[in-house]
Amino acid sequence: MQFLSQTASDGVIESLFTVDGVPGVLWSPDAGGDPAPLVLMGHGGGLHKNAPGLVARAAYLVTAFGFHAAAIDAPGHGDRTRSASDAAWVETMQSARRAGEPLGPIVSAFNASIAERAVPEWRATLDALHALPEIDADRPVGYSGMTLATEIGFRLAAAEPRIGAAALGAAYASEALMEVARRVSASVQFLLPWDDPEIDRESGLALFDAIGTEAIGTEAIGTGAIGTGAIDSVEKSLHAFPGPHERVPSYEAHDSAGFLARHLRPPVRSRGLPASARGVRTRLTCGRSST
Amino acid sequence: MQFLSQTASDGVIESLFTVDGVPGVLWSPDAGGDPAPLVLMGHGGGLHKNAPGLVARAAYLVTAFGFHAAAIDAPGHGDRTRSASDAAWVETMQSARRAGEPLGPIVSAFNASIAERAVPEWRATLDALHALPEIDADRPVGYSGMTLATEIGFRLAAAEPRIGAAALGAAYASEALMEVARRVSASVQFLLPWDDPEIDRESGLALFDAIGTEAIGTEAIGTGAIGTGAIDSVEKSLHAFPGPHERVPSYEAHDSAGFLARHLRPPVRSRGLPASARGVRTRLTCGRSST
């Protein structure tokens, strides 16, 4: 792992690095403190590790929760050169878009090819990041990203037991991706853009349905009581929002961060069960009346 | 409004009351303080205002957010007598269940009848609660509940502009309820039990699709930036979870409380935009290297 530069602004330290030649970026709290959990941030197809939406979500995880967040450029993206074979994929995709043909299957096959190459890169990056003293390698790791990052994220979560929670979404339900999704045992929050011209609703519903069906049983979906500090053993939730996948409402980004936080943070002690769960009651007054 | 009794336990003051003969309960923070927003809690069919799950969610809203929460018994439920006509509905429902007939349409028609009667009772209760000095009548009011409470909640939200956010779910998409859902302009988080034997997925998806389509446009769904403290103007989100409607995972209850909180609380000032949104950067060091 080579660190290239480090800058700080608004409570976030940004460190650029490479691992085996793959360029990456690490965002960390500038306050220091105890080792903190890590979230891996995947970028969408055609984007890169410093895409504005990704950086905003990473900065929120750092400043609101004290986490570390990291991104790498996917093969052929960002600071990496695109292979002739990948360039041919892109041309096929653009032709289909011009011809008004369904894009899902073509994009999905291209993204699957990138994802197969990206998974070992992410695992090497995770090894390197977990060797840093400021990152808590004993806590589960989070993963967050849509479209291309979801093709990568399902495969990474299926292969990598350190991934404990993944916020994914907006991917085409190819048979290959469905097969991978069934083998995921991490908690998943799955975002479905309700009005996306290129990814149909049925794809999103089918992918959500498949998640974890081979790896976990429905009975493993936790039912801890609200307010007791209990973390559900496994979480599987579909969040559908109006609009296309490029326009994730801030409330969904907010909920995704909260989802990652409750799985990555150490369990907290109960701040007090609700009265009804304890059966302890104290009569105070009787007979207040108004109106 | 008549107050009958008041007890306190674990940070929650519980006050039993009646409004025009309808029995209700108000849960409030025992710490006092400034006037705080109110959440109306609807109970499911066959349940009552002090059902354990409802009380646990109310206690969480009070202790975690400092809100007030209130519930009333629906017509024919809890401490209220059941009319001969309602008893006949229940008998029809039970016969259908024994015969293995589809329950959705029968339950929905019965719940619609109860909901028509419950809406004016909720509005009178809201008037009385808003007259109490500890409740902030200037903030939007929340509503939370599933099944019967959703039949009531859509109608209450469509009729009552004071409802700003409603956490609903698990209801049959009758034509009557679809028509009401289209007229709702409040923010809605809609829970869909993914494996419910009595409420099919398609009903949940159709109801979610209908929400607000006559009252608001997709462009009104907010896109405030994460971490800026901005509250989206209108929120519309579907949350699907594994299992039946009786077994809402605690993470969904947690997210519903967070949804209500972000719409009921006064807007907060930004705690700092992400670095990338401000363009302010400070170079610190360069060239850290490890491994």
Record: contact A291-B131, CB cut-off 8 A: yes
Record: contact A258-B255, CB cut-off 8 A: yes
Q: Which of A209, A252, A262 sits opposite B237 (nearest CB)?
A: A252
Q: In this structure, which amino acid lies at residue A204?
A: G
Q: Which chain B residue lies closest to A131 (C-alpha atoms)? A: B291
In a domain, A290, yes or no: no
- The predicted structure's pLDDT at residue B278: 37
- The predicted structure's pLDDT at residue B50: 96
The per-residue pLDDT for range B196-205, each reduced to its tens digit, is 988 899 999 9
Distance from CA of A17 to the nearest CA of B (A): 9
In chain B, residues with a C-beta closer than 8 Å to the C-beta of A260 are none
Q: Which of B7, B131, B242 sits opposite A284 (nearest CB)?
A: B7
In chain A, residues with a C-beta closer than 8 Å to the C-beta of B232 are 249-251
Residue predicted with more confidence, B282 or B34: B34
Q: Which of A12, A258, A282 sits opposite B8 (nearest CB)?
A: A282
- What are the residues whose beta carbons fall under 8 Å from the beta carbon of A4, sequence distance 6 or more? A16, A17, A18, B286, B287
Q: Which of A55, A223, A240 sits opposite B208 (nearest CB)?
A: A240
Record: contact A226-B3, CB cut-off 8 A: no
Q: Which chain B residue lies closest to A256 (C-alpha atoms)? A: B255
Summary mean pLDDT of chain B: 88
Record: contact A274-B250, CB cut-off 8 A: no
In chain B, residues with a C-beta closer than 8 Å to the C-beta of A191 are none
The percentage of residues in chain B with a pLDDT greater than 70, rounded to a whole number, is 86
Q: From CA A14, how far away is CA A22, in angstroms rounded? A: 17
The per-residue pLDDT for range B69-91, each reduced to its tens digit, is 999 999 999 999 999 999 999 99
Distance from CA of B172 to the nearest CA of A (A): 19
Inter-chain contacts counted by CB atoms under 8 A, chains A and B:
249
Distance from CA of A285 to the nearest CA of B (A): 6
Enclosing domain of residue A61: 2-278
In a domain, B287, yes or no: no
In a domain, B290, yes or no: no
In chain A, residues with a C-beta closer than 8 Å to the C-beta of B242 are 218, 221, 236
Q: From CA B104, how far away is CA B202, in angstroms rounded? A: 12
* In the predicted structure, residue A290 carries a pLDDT above the cut 80: no
* In the predicted structure, residue B272 carries a pLDDT above the cut 80: no
Q: From CA B7, how far away is CA A277, in angstroms rounded? A: 15
ipTM: 0.79
- The predicted structure's pLDDT at residue B289: 40
Distance from CA of A43 to the nearest CA of B (A): 16
Which string of DSSP letters, residue by residue, matches B130-198? HTSTTB-TTSPEEEE--THHHHHHHHHHHH-TTEEEEEEE-----HHHHHHHHT--SEEEEEEETT-SS
Total domains in the fold of chain B = 1
Arithmetic mean of pLDDT, B9-34: 95
* In the predicted structure, residue B60 carries a pLDDT above the cut 90: yes
Residue from B59, B75, B64, B63 nearest B20 by CA: B75
Residue from A255, A165, A200 nearest B237 by CA: A255
Between A71-85, A104-118, A223-237, the lowest mean confidence (pLDDT) is in A223-237
- The predicted structure's pLDDT at residue A219: 59
Q: Which of B208, B281, B291 sits opposite A7 (nearest CB)?
A: B281
Q: What is the DSSP letter of B199?
A: S
Handedness of CA A273, A279, A280, A282 (dihedral sign): positive
Handedness of CA A203, A208, A213, A219 (dihedral sign): negative
Confidence of residue B130 (pLDDT cuts 50, 70, 90): very high
In a domain, B284, yes or no: no
**SS3 of B73, please?**
coil
Candidates B63, B250, B252, B259: best to mutate against A (most CBs of A within 10 A) is B250
Arithmetic mean of pLDDT, A131-142: 97
In chain B, residues with a C-beta closer than 8 Å to the C-beta of A208 are 194, 240
Summary mean pLDDT of chain A: 88
- The predicted structure's pLDDT at residue B280: 36
Confidence of residue A291 (pLDDT cuts 50, 70, 90): very low
Q: Which of B56, B240, B250 sits opposite A238 (nearest CB)?
A: B240
In chain A, residues with a C-beta closer than 8 Å to the C-beta of B276 are 50, 52, 55-56, 59
Arithmetic mean of pLDDT, A270-286: 38
- The predicted structure's pLDDT at residue B287: 40
SS3 letters for B18-44?
EECCEEEEEEEECCCCCCECEEEECCC
What is the model's pTM? 0.85
In sequence order, what are the beta bridge partners of A72? A24
Find how far residue B250's CA is from the centre of its chain. Answer: 15
Q: From CA A226, how far away is CA B39, in angstroms rounded? A: 17
The per-residue pLDDT for range B155-184, each reduced to its tens digit, is 999 999 999 999 999 999 999 999 999 999
Candidates A250, A256, A262: best to mutate against B (most CBs of B within 10 A) is A250
Q: Which of B6, B52, B218 sits opposite A285 (nearest CB)?
A: B6
Between A170-174, A278-282, B248-252, the lowest mean confidence (pLDDT) is in A278-282
Distance from CA of B245 to the nearest CA of A (A): 12
Distance from CA of B274 to the nearest CA of A (A): 5
In a domain, A69, yes or no: yes
Distance from CA of A98 to the nearest CA of B (A): 27
Handedness of CA B183, B254, B200, A172 (dihedral sign): positive
In a domain, B19, yes or no: yes
CATH of the domain at A236: 3.40.50.1820
Confidence of residue B290 (pLDDT cuts 50, 70, 90): very low
Between A131-135, A272-276, B34-38, the lowest mean confidence (pLDDT) is in A272-276
In a domain, A288, yes or no: no
Cβ contact B200:B104 at 8 Å: yes
- The predicted structure's pLDDT at residue B33: 86
Distance from CA of B141 to the nearest CA of A (A): 19
Per-residue CA distances from B112 to A167, A207, B91, B147, B189 (Å): 37, 34, 16, 11, 20
Q: Which of B3, B131, B280 sits opposite A10 (nearest CB)?
A: B280
Candidates B22, B41, B207, B226: best to mutate against A (most CBs of A within 10 A) is B226
Record: contact A277-B243, CB cut-off 8 A: no
- Tokens 């995947």, located at residue: A42
Q: Which chain B residue lies closest to A192 (C-alpha atoms)? A: B238
In chain A, residues with a C-beta closer than 8 Å to the C-beta of B252 are 237
Record: contact A275-B10, CB cut-off 8 A: yes
Distance from CA of A64 to the nearest CA of B (A): 8
In a domain, A287, yes or no: no
